[in-house]
A and B are shown apart, each in its own frame.
Chain A
Amino acid sequence: MSETAMTRREWLLTDRPQSRLQARLGRAYVTWRRFAANRLAVIGMLIILGLIVLAIFAPLLAPYSPYVGDLAKSRLLPPDAAHWLGTDDQGRDILSRLIYGSRLTLQVVVLVAIIAAPLGLLVGTVAGYAGGWVDAVLMRITDIFLAFPKLVLALAFVAALGPGIGNAIIAIAITSWPPYARIARAETLTVRNSDYISAVRLMGASPWRIVLRHIMPLCISSLIVRVTLDMAGIILTAAGLGFLGLGAQPPLPEWGAMIASGRRFILDQWWVAAMPGFAILVVSLGFNLLGDGLRDALDPRGSSQ
């Protein structure tokens, strides 16, 4: 480590931050150190970073077109030097399809997180802070959504909206916000009567301002952990919908749909179903490891400082 790095480190770890920025950076640095100490979590993060790189550079990385294959000549070829992961029943290169499929997977995960997490956060904090009948109504709606198995409810939504990757994302988002609402509400209940909230209220802040500026930020860390841990579930749900033919439309290389079309060859051409299955496994594992690491790093209760 160089001299400057040492000083920068000291600057970050100082007990008396000179500015708000320094305090925040210092806090982030501590969190990162705790996270980086967990080797599995780093592996998970690398997997996810790898997925993102694959998605961004798919056209450069994929050796063949993911959509066009040669039905007559290259159908169901086993893995070899030309096709590292073999070819599928339309003669398309499975590796190329997996690489392009990472875009869909990422798209699903990101969009679901963007839709479901804020929705759950809003519902939960409002319910927790307002209490009374608002709380009762919002939580009973949440209960109703929680009463259905996630995949079955998503299936019903997709059936109503029509198949397609966009509708699958909406369906998954609609079904995955209730747990976030529950978490946000629980967090809100623990802080709503604390002194600093009362202080803000005495200063004349509106309920909306209190919820948005003073309660939500406190709920975010536990929410991030939960969302990351749910990513694996979201990928599996998306894959499940694809498997049932209700997710991505052909010829999109959605991993679940790829497994579905490879299932017919499972006894003799195992690689057609196994490769996308393996991809789903690796990415789900990556998100789980990352989520675990994040929980350890972000959870203030678990901190030993």
Chain B
Amino acid sequence: MNRETITVRVRPLLAGAAFSLLLASGGMAPAFAETPADTLVQAWAIDDTITLDPAESFELSPAEFLGNGYDMLVRLDIDDTTKVKGGIAESWEVSEDGLTYTFKLKPGIKFASGNPVTAEDVAWSFERVVKLDKSPAFILTQFGLNGDNVTEKAKAVDEGTFVFTVDKAYAPSFVLNCLTATVGAVLDKKLVMEHAEARTPSDEYKYDTDFGYGWMKTNYAGSGPFKIRDWRANEILVMERNDNYYGEKPALTRVIYRHVKESATQRLMLEAGDIDVARNLEPGDFEAVSKNADLATTSAAKGTVYYISLNQKNENLAKPEVREALKYLVDYDAIGATLIKGIGEIRQTYQAKGVLGALDASPYTFDVAKAKELLEKAGLKDGFSVTFDVRNTQPVTGIAESFQQTAGQAGVKVEIIPGDGKQTLTKYRARNHDMYIGQWGMDYWDPNSNAEAFTSNPDNGDEASVKTLAWRNAWDIPELTGEVKAALLERDNDKRAEMYKKLQQQALDTSPFVMIFQQTEVAGMRGNVKNYKLGPNFDTNFLAPVTKD
């Protein structure tokens, strides 16, 4: 059609112009250079990496570096993500009362430094996380650990046995899932302590050492298939094969991440062969890459969901019929086929696909008549006006604009208030919004993470200490909150999964969350890159199996 001819005529021009810009900007590799055969070069926006310390890192890109550089006691089973498999631990046992977990370590394994991996290292890594108490520490401290009792509760019995004691009889799947997080990474105690600095104990920080905190920001002390050799913020990260790794050794000698922010730039670099993998392709560029015979693509659903939330402090939005009506006013099919094509899949339940107990149901469709009927029942026959806080980035702006149009058909007048991420989020956290469109990433790979966020609100007061997403939308749900708590202590895995399914169903019917889609991570790569697979979260984007022809 017409479109084809125009595209073909113009693209080389634009590409050429952009490319000469790239060259002019300096520091770029010459055009059409091939990457070395034993090295994988990836372009990725890695500006969210602020530290390489597993005890502090809680961002997306470092999760991938740490997931490949470190090993944890247990790892997520990539073939069935509702289960875990052994990492450093060879086997584990849960005591009868559900409080004590005993891990037997794999014998004879070593850190990249050559030091042996012992239960002492595991215990010390736990102690370090709890005592430093940085953002991801809650994943461990939620089991009743604190600075005073951690040496007792996370303990090395002998060289190869580690015992972990929790404060309640949690579901074992919950405990094990949490231990797969990067915060559970096992560090080389000997190596780190060589670089530890002395501290003067004070009221805020009671210990006389920094546990290598300063050194670990930019250094590496792990036992994973790759060593992190070099990191220059907003520029480059280099990983190298760890020859001391106990498992199957990676085929690649080196993996290099280059910080490239723009999707179009990444696409041009990929087409020119300057990089092997492009990680931030937007839908248009992704489509172009997937049509190119020299290139290949891959994608995986990630644990991030996008939703529109309705503040229950707004009296119109608080009506159950209105909540339901708005769920009928999203044009799911059109959004799925256009705005989020290639970067997400429509998903109406709040648990990410692939997690234990995830409910795959999508009962809502775009139905103006049905919505009007519900609005009439709510006494809002002529519709109503409402404000909508939207971060001025894609795809949320596009979705918000689409919703503005479709809701308008039922008489709901939506006023979009654009703002940058910080403005909108601050307003949202203070519960001052009417409607908000946001994204929510799982804190750790367990259904409890999202169940707590979306369907638990222990105290709906303005001064509450626990501020879940349900709290942010003033959704007062004592019953569901109790069910979330119960599911956490259910030790039978199947029953536990059922409980989460029930919670999602209730949220689907009554919650003030209009769930829209689950994010898909995409990557475009050169045709000679093989076995490149993305996992369900960023610490499972494993690079060890990747090969290059």
Contacts and interface: CB of A to CB of B under 8 A. Distances in A.
Contacts of A269: 284
A163 B417 contact: yes
Interface residues of B, number: 41
A115 to B, nearest CB: 24
A268 B8 CA distance: 9
Contact of B401 (A72, A75, A90, A163): A90
Interface stretch (B47-55, B126-134, B392-400): B392-400
Interface in B1-32: 2-3, 6-7, 10-11, 14-15, 18
Interface string A70-113: 01100101111000000001100000000000000000000000
B335 A71 contact: yes
Contacts of B415: 249
Contacts of A244: 392
Interface residues of A, number: 28
A64 interface: no
B284 A250 contact: no
A31 interface: no
Given A267-B14, A270-B10, A261 B334 contact: no
B331 A250 contact: no
A265 to B, nearest CB: 5
Contacts of A265: 284
B430 interface: no
Contacts of B417: 162-163, 249
A268 B288 contact: yes
A31 B287 CA distance: 58
B337 interface: yes
A33 interface: no
Contact of B418 (A72, A78, A249): A249
B401 A268 contact: no
A136 B376 CA distance: 65
B416 A89 contact: no
A267 B334 contact: no
Given A90-B401, A249-B416, A270-B10, A72 B338 contact: yes
Among A249, A251, A268, the most chain B Cβ lie within 10 Å of the Cβ of A268
A267 B18 CA distance: 10
Given A71-B339, A268-B11, A163 B334 contact: no
A67 B3 CA distance: 24
Given A264-B394, A267-B14, A267-B285, A78 B334 contact: no
Contacts of A233: none
B418 A267 contact: no
Contacts, number: 85
Contacts of B10: 270
A20 B545 CA distance: 92
A28 interface: no
A250 B334 contact: no
Interface in B198-223: none
Contact of A264 (B284, B333, B401, B408): B284
B434 interface: no
A266 interface: yes
Given A261-B397, A268-B7, A71 B331 contact: yes
Name the residue among A80, A250, A251 with the largest chain B CB count within 10 angstroms. A250
A69 interface: yes
A245 B333 CA distance: 27
Nearest to A252: B416
B416 A68 contact: no
A161 B544 CA distance: 51
A267 B11 contact: yes
A250 B15 contact: no
Contacts of A68: 405, 408
B334 A71 contact: yes
A244 B338 CA distance: 23
Given A78-B2, A250-B416, A261-B397, A267 B288 contact: yes
Nearest to B263: A264
B11 A69 contact: no
B152 to A, nearest CB: 51
A251 B15 contact: no
Contacts of A80: 2
Contacts of A72: 331, 333-334, 337-338
Given A71-B339, A265-B284, A267-B14, A89 B405 contact: no
Contacts of A75: 338
B156 to A, nearest CB: 53
B144 interface: no
B267 interface: yes
Contacts of A266: 14, 264
Interface in B127-153: none
Nearest to A77: B3
Given A78-B6, A163-B419, A250-B400, A267 B15 contact: yes
A82 to B, nearest CB: 11
Nearest to B1: A78
B398 A90 contact: yes
A75 B333 CA distance: 14
Interface string B421-461: 00000000000000000000000000000000000000000
A250 to B, nearest CB: 5
B282 interface: yes
Interface string A251-290: 1000000000100111111100000000000000000000
B400 to A, nearest CB: 7
B413 to A, nearest CB: 12
Nearest to A163: B418
Interface of A: 67-69, 71-72, 75, 77-80, 89-90, 162-163, 244-246, 249-251, 261, 264-270
Interface of B: 2-3, 6-7, 10-11, 14-15, 18, 263-264, 267, 282, 284-285, 287-288, 331, 333-335, 337-339, 390, 392, 394, 397-398, 400-402, 404-405, 408, 415-420
Given A71-B335, A245-B392, A250-B404, 16 more contacts: A69-B405, A72-B333, A75-B338, A244-B392, A245-B418, A249-B415, A249-B418, A250-B401, A251-B401, A261-B394, A261-B397, A264-B282, A267-B18, A267-B284, A268-B7, A268-B11
19 contacts: A71-B334, A71-B335, A72-B331, A72-B333, A77-B3, A78-B7, A89-B398, A162-B417, A244-B392, A246-B418, A249-B418, A250-B397, A250-B400, A250-B418, A251-B404, A251-B416, A264-B284, A267-B264, A268-B287
